[in-house]
Structure 1
Amino acid sequence: MAKRLIPTLNRVLVEKIVPPSKTNAGILLPEKSSKASVLNSGKVIAVGPGARDKEGNTIPVAFKEGDTVLLPNYGGDHVKLGEKDYHLYRDEEILGTLHD
């Protein structure tokens, strides 16, 4: 049975984007070259409803499911669901959204 995690408050569930380890032709890439060319990014899988202010109003999360986001080098909580690895970040920890 597959589990689905719905984050609480202003948390965002992200699956990190891993750079390819070999080319389409099957040539293995050295680890240094693949890390240097790719930003620390991820795809938003799920978002919480948002945090609450002092009056009890909900402050919505700035990201939505499917967004590609720029992640900090450190931080977030590692979560493993089934065979997949994810990370939970607070809304304010995520650095921005990436667009083509």
Structure 2
Amino acid sequence: MLVCAIKFKEVFARHALEDREYIYFPSLEDWSKIEKLLEILKVFYDTTNVISGFDYPTFNLFLSEIYRIKMLLDTSSKSSDDFFKSMVTNMKERFDKY
């Protein structure tokens, strides 16, 4: 849904200009956060598709995909954005637990 929403981010802003009751639209800062979030979610999506494959053996791909997620979470948890850092830190704690 977020991928579709980003395609129409200009429409949200235009709608806010035309409809005075439409006040809860994403700001430029919100869109920036959504784009950062999508970068992380894409890695999880791609990893899920690789690991869940049933037409081919996936065990040999498992370790490299898990490492890819770990590196992404480690680097993202050092973000200067407090909201993003908090979210990723929570994800990283759960990831490290397992």
TM-score of the alignment, normalized to the shorter chain, above 0.5? no
TM-score (normalised: structure 1): 0.26
TM-score (normalised: structure 2): 0.27
> By percentage of residues, which structure has more helix?
2
Higher relative contact order (CA closer than 8 Å, sequence separation 6+): 1
